[in-house]
Structure 1
């Protein structure tokens, strides 16, 4: 299962033009789009359901789970409803916006109080963002159905135009590559909303798992995209079940895995989604990857980047900045080393299995960890941003899936600093 580079400049150009044209059509012919949208959606849903039924029965999948059959049936029913009652399908856009804006409003409000408590500068901006999203939610609830559907659909068209422009800039970079040494300022780049990227890791993991279920594919032969060796690696984690499906993200640089997270269980709050922020440094990545594979059944996607000297200098400056803004911290296992108790928290497990050093953040926005905002990805992004990587979501919230989606696309391009990709699965390695 070789990860081959297969995105050509022509594909990027066609994709960008298609998205821009679709966005323009939605923007200027909104009523026509809304008239046809339910039926087009119905056709897609019915086709998808029938295709899945075909895979379920004709291809004789190894695991015929009843939940899969129920899910496929639900898709088929939705497709039929789209034809019987088209108006119901039109609730998709306002319903999605209501849900998304409400969730973002809550996240920013929690982040505001969290940052205010630690006296983090500019925390008022988070309050303003929270109010903005709550206002959108109220408008969606109170506005006339057809009017709000009309306005929101136009915004979707506008979004597709900007997304298409982003892909067009990728086409320009592919045809007229810039020197990454000079590409140190992050450009505005519209990517998929975070909710759409959350399922990407799970879907990719399923493909890897199915592939490695064949014994002949374990420890597959290496496919080299280039003879260059990466000098920085990004490790993106995902699990089959539980909260791990949303992923985790580390950086491997100059022999050390660097990670930020909610590792002090004594400070857990709000269903373990909040706590005091902790960084760890693990010497070597082999033991860490084995630990993640064996004890937590995680799959790790490792993307290798080839950086210039200037980029590495900026990365090192940012890492040093985080070290200066932290102090040594011990896991319960090491803090209570004379205790007979066997600590089973994540930090203690890591301390037993790897050569690790923990540090706790002193001040600033990473003083407190929050799963949905100041998380592992946000921290890693402060370091990766020094390389000029141009991933940026409109709402400012990043997920491991956002980065995976970005790196997957960049890896498949010719002119990219993302040069290698490896999947470390509990059943084997795919390169």
Structure 2
């Protein structure tokens, strides 16, 4: 834990310094990026060529020539870093605007009110994105200063988290507010990065006890983030368990898949925690990050009220193996996730009748937003100004809050292999 708290101070300081430089001398940032890139490509080209001479591998020679060619290209086209920054940020803004617009359309279909902010963000993001893409004369110094301000705000958040992690007098209280987070595309990689960090920790021969307990409290609420080894599994999935019953939301009906499975009918399932975790570890080859949150009787009442709303707004949906009574032919249904989940754990799945979460949208009403229904009753500050909450956003928040003194997040468990104890 000391290492994690210290890293908050290190990252916060780096962000503050980088932000100040971007604000004070934005034009020199590009020059620094250009020089660093040219030096790196030159060194890389030399190293690859030496490796080619020793090992006679054609790929080393090819990448060495490619590295030198790109180096000379940069030397003759010095505005390339500015072009890359402008085009990539413009594309990112358009993607965020598209995500907000799709959520706006879904909300209209489901007759959900209060869409003005979604409309504003959609318009602003898309307009600014195309403005960057289509305007080569855009003054990138302004963009760099904006990045600098963002870095300094984010740096202050990291420093604040670090201070709260060492100050024993911290009076902990969650407060519902917009939280300045990493960009959405970076948050998407947080679960995989966390798993990679754990793997390196174990490979270095360090102690294998990754579970930490701050207080010996009875915990009724647990938040579970799991991450798989490949593909979309690396982005992770998040759900919660209350009184050891898991509630998980997602896009599970293959007949309703649209837009490369990012849109579909909203479905949640319930399953005992004692069956869910070993199944995810052994059968689905996932790693699990589990956080236990201590709750008061008043908070428990709010959670139970929210869970009852969730249950009342769902109707039983039967998987293919249930509808076709294929329990004795499991191999025919093994590729269908809801079928194998039900077969192995007895999970019961429910489709959302109406309103929010009636339609699943990976960049809007997703598993993280569903979990936020419950954690939001406690005051979790994971609201995003972009409207995009990913499992990575929540994992980053859970870890930061867990490190703070007097935090109600009282334990963390990491499962890489199922332990029955």
Bigger mean CA offset, 387-396 vs 235-244: 387-396
Alignment of 1:5-404 (within 5 A): 5-8=2-5, 12=8, 15-40=11-36, 85-145=77-137, 147-171=138-162, 173-174=164-165, 175=167, 179-180=171-172, 183-209=173-199, 220-221=208-209, 223-229=211-217, 230-283=219-272, 285-337=273-325, 342-344=332-334, 345-404=336-395
Gaps of 5+ in 1: 57-65
Check 1:78–1:280 CA distance in 2 against 1; reply closer, same or farther (3 A cut).
farther
Query: Cα distance, 1:374 vs. partner?
Result: 1.0
Q: Contact (CA 8 Å) 1:45, 1:75: kept in 2 or not?
A: yes
Query: Cα distance, 1:159 vs. partner?
Result: 0.6
Bigger mean CA offset, 33-42 vs 115-124: 33-42
Bigger mean CA offset, 169-178 vs 76-85: 76-85
Root-mean-square deviation (Å): 3.7
Matched residues, number? 406
Query: Cα distance, 1:261 vs. partner?
Result: 0.7
Distance of 1:263 and 1:74 partners within structure 2: 44
Cα displacement string for residues 102-160 of structure 1 (whole angstroms, at most 9, x for unaligned residues): 21222222222222222222245433322221101121023244x34222111101111
Distance of 2:307 and 2:261 partners within structure 1: 26
Query: Cα distance, 1:41 vs. partner?
Result: 5.7
Check 1:45–1:198 CA distance in 2 against 1; reply closer, same or farther (3 A cut).
farther
Query: Cα distance, 1:248 vs. partner?
Result: 0.7
Distance of 2:12 and 2:30 partners within structure 1: 23
Distance of 1:247 and 1:389 partners within structure 2: 20
Query: Cα distance, 1:348 vs. partner?
Result: 1.5
Distance of 2:224 and 2:64 partners within structure 1: 33
Distance of 2:292 and 2:60 partners within structure 1: 35
Distance of 2:351 and 2:412 partners within structure 1: 31
Distance of 1:231 and 1:75 partners within structure 2: 56
TM-score (norm 1): 0.80
Q: Contact (CA 8 Å) 1:205, 1:240: kept in 2 or not?
A: no
Check 1:255–1:412 CA distance in 2 against 1; reply closer, same or farther (3 A cut).
same
TM-score (norm 2): 0.82
Check 1:190–1:79 CA distance in 2 against 1; reply closer, same or farther (3 A cut).
farther
Cα displacement string for residues 3-45 of structure 1 (whole angstroms, at most 9, x for unaligned residues): x34344x765565455334323322322233333433566688
Check 1:11–1:278 CA distance in 2 against 1; reply closer, same or farther (3 A cut).
closer
Q: Contact (CA 8 Å) 1:42, 1:81: kept in 2 or not?
A: no
Q: Contact (CA 8 Å) 1:366, 1:374: kept in 2 or not?
A: yes
Bigger mean CA offset, 96-105 vs 388-397: 388-397
Query: Cα distance, 1:77 vs. partner?
Result: 8.4
The ranges of structure 1 where at least 4 consecutive aligned residues each deviate by more than 4 angstroms after the TM superposition are 10-15, 40-47, 66-86, 176-180, 209-214, 338-342
Distance of 2:418 and 2:31 partners within structure 1: 49
Gaps of 5+ in 2: 52-57
Match of 2:214, SS state, is: coil
